[in-house]
Amino acid sequence: MPAETHVEGVPIGRDEVLELIRDRLADILEIEPSKIGEGDSFADDLDADSLALIELVEALEEELSERSAGFRIEDDDLEDLKTVRDAVDYVVSRLG
């Protein structure tokens, strides 16, 4: 039986958040995670439409709610998340 990897209360680092966002975004956009740079714009560099971003938000909320009870990305904050770095910084700040 595999070890539990998602334990509430275990801090998650910035690198881990970046990796998580890359992996989820790569699945949604059907590209290799290595093709996603931290400075990439969702719209301009990755051609991610609003539906892809909603899928990313849902995936992150599902994954991170196991780590931080009730983790949510507010709808009003979505318009400020233009790049992968914006998303990483936002998630790290929300996880505290």
Would residue 5 count as lying in a domain?
A: no
Percent of the chain topping pLDDT 70: 90
* d(C-alpha 56, C-alpha 51), whole Å: 9
Catalytic residue among 27, 49, 77, 80: 49
Would residue 73 count as lying in a domain?
A: yes
Reference 40, options 81, 89, 83; nearest CA is 83
CATH code of residue 66: 1.10.1200.10
Backbone angles phi, psi at 32, to 5 degrees: -75, 135
Structural domain tally of the chain? 1
Residue ranges making up the domain that contains 36? 14-95
Give the pLDDT of residue 57: 96
pLDDT digits (tens, 9 = 90+) for 42-69: 999 999 999 999 999 999 999 998 878 8
Would residue 6 count as lying in a domain?
A: no
Would residue 7 count as lying in a domain?
A: no
Output the pTM of the full model: 0.86
Would residue 3 count as lying in a domain?
A: no
For residue 49, indicate whether it is catalytic: yes
